[in-house]
Structure 1
Amino acid sequence: MNTEAPFIRAIKVEDNEQIAKVIRAVLIEFGVPKVGTAYEDKALENLYNAYREENTIYYVIEHQGKVIGGAGIAPLANYEGPVCEFQKMYFLPEARGLGLGSKLIEKCLLKARSFGFEHCYLETLPYMEAARALYKKNGFVSLNKPLGDTGHYSCNMWMLKEL
């Protein structure tokens, strides 16, 4: 019996197909609109390349050779200042409830600080209640309006954390 624990690592090119499937599966599970969200992001087909830009990183959670979740950070699009965006955190059901969300957030925020960012922004949806509770537990506070312009116009809840 393989009892290997899930672990967090930087994305590899061979993860592209798996992580795209994970993200789309979770979005469908939660009934998220396919337009104005990560579902239609062109970068989703090649996250490895998308996160090779300066001051970006994407991590996946691997368990027994399978990608079961991930999240990343990148500079906030269309915004001036030292603010990054916490992006594309999605977990398959088997990755939930294991404390991996907080570990992944912490890893991403440590990297964001090392890149020189002073704040971390994210966008989410009202019915992603568990995710919002996790963000709040990890120090994110709600905003009344969005920052920058990510193109995710269907995401109508915004949060920010000082790094």
Structure 2
Amino acid sequence: MRDYYRDFLIRNWEKGDRTGAAAVISYVLSEYGLSWEPNGADRDVLQVEEYYLATGGEFWVIEHQNQVVGTGAYYPIHRGKKAVEIRKMYLLSSVRGLGLGKYLLQQLEAAIAARGFDEIWIETASVLVEAVKLYESKGYKPATEVETKRCDRVYVKFLI
């Protein structure tokens, strides 16, 4: 992946992005009163190769003026038929409200569809109001069985 949205570069994760991606996610979580869990829900950010690249997923970073300002990722899961979970879709507050989140979600969905997956799952927290509105506006339907402790919502979208 290498794409542009306005003057933002969306590209594949590289080893040198580990610290920047973790910082963005940790910061956004703290902004909403959620905890960074490097030994739990956020372990995947510190082990991108194992959780994403080795399983057939992708992890992208969003850059603006050579700084990581956002992330977005997905990997296959065993929750449904040919299913993936979109994870780590975070944008710093300074770049929210520009349509970047909508574009990022659209690009993730296109990549997922191109790889032949049929279902997309997303877990989130109600306090992430912008994310909840985005997912619901793009056809994600409420589901059950949240698996991540800090999340209280789960959504699914069927591509077929």
Are 1:146 and 2:145 an aligned pair?
yes
Find the aligned partners of 2:123 and 2:25 in 1 and give their Cα distance.
Answer: 15
Q: When the two structures are superposed, what TM-score results if normalisation uses the length of structure 2?
A: 0.86
The gaps in structure 1 that reach 5 residues or longer are none
> Could you tell which deviates more after superposition, 66-75 or 132-141?
132-141
Q: CA deviation at 1:34?
A: 4.3
* Structure 1: 4+ residue segments shifted above 4 A: 37-40
Residues 124 and 158 in structure 1, CA contact (< 8 A), matched pair in contact too: yes
Aligned to 2:54, the other structure's residue is in SS state coil
The normalised TM-score by structure 1 is: 0.85
**Number of residue-to-residue matches in the alignment:** 154
RMSD: 2.2
Residue number in structure 2 paired with 1:126: 126
Aligned to 2:31: 29
Spell out the pairing of 1:1-163 with structure 2 (5 A cutoff).
Answer: 5-34=7-36, 40-76=41-77, 78-79=78-79, 81-143=81-143, 145-146=144-145, 149=147, 152-163=148-159
Name the CA distance, whole Å, in 2 between partners of 1:49 and 1:101.
Answer: 25
2: CA distance between counterparts of 1:124 and 1:23?
13
Q: Could you tell me how far 1:59 is from its partner in structure 2?
A: 1.2
CA–CA separation in structure 1 for the residues paired with 2:138 and 2:58: 19
Unaligned runs of 5+ in 2: 1-5
Amino acid at match of 1:13: K
User: Which residue identity lines up with residue 146 of structure 1 in the other structure?
Assistant: E
